[in-house]
Amino acid sequence: MSNSDKKKSLSNTITNLPIINESKQIPVNIEAERSLLGSIITNNKAFESVENILIENDFSEPQNRIIYTFISKLIGRGQIADLNTLKTYLDDEEFFSENGSLEYLLKICENSLSIINANHYAKIIKELSQRRQLIDVGTKLVNDSFSYNLDIEVDSLIERTEQNLYELTTSGLIENGPRKFDDVILETMNYAEKAFKKDEDYIGIKTGLSDFDQKIGGLHNSDLIIVAGRPSMGKTAFATNIAYNITKNNVDKKNSSSDKNVLIFSLEMSSEQLATRILSELSEIPSEKIRTGNINKNDFAKVLKSSEELSSLSLFIDDSPALTIASIRTRARRLKRKSNLDLIIVDYLQLISGNNQNSNDNRVKEISDITRGLKAIAKELNLPVIALSQLSRKVEDREEKRPQLSDLRESGAIEQDADLVVFLYREEYYLARSEPTEGTEKHDLWMQKMSDIHNVAEAIIAKHRHGPISKVKLHFNASSTKFSDFVDNNSF
């Protein structure tokens, strides 16, 4: 095909693209809006059946939005929203002061519907509102796609559109109202029975660290788990160990119906660096030797065998830098829809980009929005989310190095939103940096202490929404960054 033919073909393709038919009517039902508002004004009880369905922006006419807003405020304050009370507020609105607030209110009340039909009309108005929003999303997508803007990448455009569509679907959800306690207790007992029978879907996903699992009951759906520590405490290793243990369990069981898929958002390391870490954990060969090739034939054989084992795991890594909560949600939702998803790991929380790019904004508030977003993802996708977090440097300034909740960086929201907060602590790391002079009694005591705590780590459960706080002793091989059960199988 010649270049001219290609251009002609491309031109025909573009010409034949479907475009929005501007002659079509925007989906609205003004009479339904007015009739519903008239019904609520006539009988405020009608508001009870629509308040969890509609918001003011669901009304297409500005005056109807204003009326619904004032109705919501008045009833929310325990006041009556009728012709007289509404007129008092509407007279201050420009539209109503020019057109007569009482006349318009009387007009909509004349055609009010029965309170029985209020819920039905509300659903009609909601659906039409969602259709208009779909048109807005689609129109913006078309316009942005035609406009070659260097500031808008295609991936960002797709993610933003998916996010807009998701928000549109959730905006129509009716919030749960009060439930009878006997219904709640029935569900609770059903859950307790499943847990008693050791159903993993109910007792939580096992991390592969027995003592730790015993303390926390496994990783539970909709939980946000914060794993925090100072540098070199093993945060990433702890998370990748858990990811490996969970996905390895799939291969051991050989039952595809119970396979667990894990997605790691690695905002700090590349996927290759993270894979090297996991290879090191499995082969027990230091990662720096694998990276530099400083290994013998036997070591290489171990690495090769480990890589073959890892290739069969249902483990996914996304190493895109500076992701936002919206991007994480979109990518996780996409994977869950395609391959199912059972656990999300984020390494690490402070590297997630905030929605507001203004560098002067309060970082504490930004972190608050991020942790709230991670918790929302856990609830929406009904899976546990593990987020790694840094700790404040003030830990280094005190004699007792064991972390506390107040040590969490920008801590307020992290502590509040988390269901589980786990601090990793290795006394060996700090003690190794305070070696006394050789040949002294202090050095002998130091050597004994170093021997006692060699390869020992603590998982400090500082917050546990479903149980008591506690500590768990773990074995940690620093050279291969591998966590495992402590040999004595003792916990604090």
Which CA distances in Å does 249 have to 260, 278, 314? 8, 16, 10
- Say whether pLDDT at 383 is over 80: yes
The confidence score (pLDDT) of residue 59 equals 93
- Say whether pLDDT at 90 is over 50: yes
In terms of average pLDDT, the best of 88-92, 154-158, 227-231, 486-490 is 227-231
For 445-457, write each residue's pLDDT tens digit. Answer: 888 888 888 888 9
Which CA distances in Å does 281 have to 215, 229, 276, 290, 368? 24, 19, 9, 11, 33
DSSP 8-class letter at 318: E
Instruction: Tell me the CATH architecture of domain 201-485.
Output: 3-Layer(aba) Sandwich (3.40)
Map out the domains of the chain as residue ranges: 30-170, 201-485
Q: What is the average per-residue pLDDT within 6-32?
A: 62
- Say whether pLDDT at 202 is over 60: no
Q: What is the average per-residue pLDDT within 68-87?
A: 89
Give residue 149's region: left, alpha or beta (phi > 0; psi -120 to 50). Answer: beta
Q: What is the average per-residue pLDDT within 151-180?
A: 70
For 303-314, write each residue's pLDDT tens digit. Answer: 888 888 888 788
**Parallel/antiparallel/unpaired status of strands 470-477 and 482-485:** antiparallel
DSSP string, 262-279: EEEEESSS-HHHHHHHHH
User: To which CATH superfamily is domain 30-170 assigned?
Assistant: DNAb Helicase; Chain A (1.10.860.10)
pTM: 0.69
- Say whether pLDDT at 57 is over 80: yes
Specify the higher pLDDT residue, 111 or 253.
Answer: 111
Specify the higher pLDDT residue, 269 or 151.
Answer: 269
Number of CB atoms found within 10 A of residue 400's CB:
7
